[in-house]
Chain A
Amino acid sequence: MIQVEGLTKYYGALAAIRDLTFAIDRGEVIGFLGLNGAGKSTALRVLGCVLLPTSGRVTIDGFDVVRDPHEIRKRIGFLPDTPPLYTEMTVGAYLEFVARLRGVPSGRAKARTIEVEERTATRDVHDEVIGNLSHGFKQRIGIAQALVHNPKLLILDEPTSGLDPVQIVEMRQLIKGLKGEHTILLSSHILSEISQTCDRLLVIQGGEIVGQGSEQELATQMGSGGYLEIEIGGPSQGEGRAPVEKALQAVRAVAGVLSASVIREEAHVAQIKLDAPAALCPQVVRALVAADIDVMRVGRGSAQLESIFLKLTQTGGQPS
Chain B
Amino acid sequence: MKLNRRAFLGTASATAVSLAAPMVFAAGHGKSHVVVVGGGAGGATAARYIAQDSQGEINVTLIEPSRAYYTCFFSNLYLGGFRDISSLAHSYGTIASGGVNVVHDWAVGVDRDAKTVALAGGGSVPYDKLILSPGIDFVDGAVEGWDLSAQNAMPHAYKAGSQTELLRAQVLAMPQGGTFAMVAPPNPFRCPPGPYERVSMVAHLLKETNPTAKILIADPKETFSKQGLFEEGWNKHYAGMVERVGPDFGGANVSVDPDAMTISIDGEVTKVDVCNVIPAMKAGRIAELAGVTDGNWAPVSAADMSSKADADIYVLGDSSAQGDMPKSGFSANSQAKVCANAVRGALTGSTIFPAKFSNTCWSLINTNDGVKVGATYEATDEKIAKVDGFVSSTGETDAMRQATYEESVGWYAGITSDMFG
Q: Do A and B bind each other?
A: no
- Which residues of B are in contact with A by a Cβ distance under 8 Å? none
- Which residues of A are in contact with B by a Cβ distance under 8 Å? none
